Amino acid sequence: MSKIQSTFAQLKSENKKALIPFITAGDPHPDMTVSMLHALVDYGADMIELGIPFSDPMADGPVIQRASERALANNVGIKKTIKLVKQFRENNTKTPIILMGYANPIEAIGIDNFVNLIKDADVDGVVTVDYPPEESKEFVSLLRKNDIDSIFLISPTTEDTRIKLITSQASGFLYYVSLKGVTGSSNIDIKQVAERVMNIKKYSDLPVAVGFGVRDSETAKQVALISDAVVIGSRIVLEVESSSQENILVNIKKLMDEIKKAIS
């Protein structure tokens, strides 16, 4: 059983929902990423999504775009991101880490090389935004061979036949994109999200996480009621961006506390 699966199983037995914060590796500075990861765990993160900086993040809104630009300005790319996970693992072998990024950096270093590196760093899952199941068969089978979960996005426009295709390739959990748009977009329609999540569950026993439009504790609370996990991305990255360096962790803690309370 993968760490992602066992974490979900454990939470389920306690009747709890997973909180999955997102930060971009190297933002605001590579020296801070590892301590931020540990802090997120202390503040109640059940798993963490770590963004791989990319020059052309087409599915991201302005907040995560700027995070990527800051990270790239610090020379943090895909290899450094994996190194940071490895450093985090020196003091945490339990919390699942999911890398989120785009296909080009992965192919640029080679998919075999990428999988070897993340295996060595004990990464648990990968979300590749622009790698639909049709174009990523080789990559997914390579991940599977190495017991790393392939996490796929399902969107409001995904039809049932595609949900079947996606769930046949996915493992760990399914990531439901709560709205039509980029990361950090405005308000989600919770009733519609609930219907879609229920529909996905007709086709798969995998846990369903919801993200892309969760901006406050009230939304997080509602999302937690109808899914297995809440992903908070742009809202946290916004704290990273707007806080002075010494206040980043304080402000993230405040946000995490509110959300943790709302979803438990």
Partner 1 sequence: MQAYDLPDAFGHFGQFGGSFVAETLVEALDELKEMYDKFKDDPEFLAEFHHDLKHFVGRPSPIYYAERLTNKIGGAKIFLKREDLNHTGAHKVNNTVGQALLAKRMGKPRVIAETGAGQHGVATATIAARLGLECVVYMGSEDIKRQSPNVYRMKLLGAKVVPVESGSKTLKDALNEALRDWVTNVSDTFYIIGTVAGPHPYPMMVRDFNSVVGKECRTQMPDLVGGQPDAILACVGGGSNAMGIFYPYIDDKSVRLIGVEAAGHGIETGMHAAPLTANSPIGILHGNRTYLMQNDEGQIIDTHSVSAGLDYPGVGPEHAWLKDSGRAEYVAVTDDEALKAFHNLCLIEGIIPALESSHALAYAEKLAATMPKDKIILVNLSGRGDKDINTVAKLAGLTL
Active site residues: 49, 60
Distances (CA, A) of 229 to 66, 209, 247: 26, 4, 27
CB count in 10 Å sphere of residue 219: 22
DSSP letter assigned to residue 53: P
Report residue 159: phi and psi, to 5°. Answer: -80, 160
Residue 129 engages partner 1 in binding (rule: CB under 8 A): yes
Candidate segments 24-32, 84-92, 115-123, 130-138, binder of partner 1 by CB under 8 A: 130-138
- Binding of residue 134 to partner 1 (CB under 8 A): yes
What does DSSP assign to residue 52? P
Query: Binding to partner 1 (CB under 8 A): which residues in 34-53?
Result: 53
Q: Which is nearer to partner 1, 46 or 49 (CB)?
A: 49
* 182/206 with CB nearer partner 1: 182
Which of 9, 35, 91, 108: binder of partner 1 (CB under 8 A)? 108
Q: Which of 76, 21, 14, 1 is nearest to 229 (CA)?
A: 21
Per-residue binding string, partner 1, 146-165, x by CB under 8 A, is ------xxxxxxxx--x---
195 binds partner 1 (CB under 8 A): no
Rounded least distance, CB 16 to partner 1, Å? 27
CA–CA distance, 78 with 19 (Å, rounded to integer): 25
- In this complex, which beta carbon is closest to partner 1, that of residue 42 or of residue 120? 120
Sign of the dihedral through C-alpha 199, 204, 205, 210:
negative
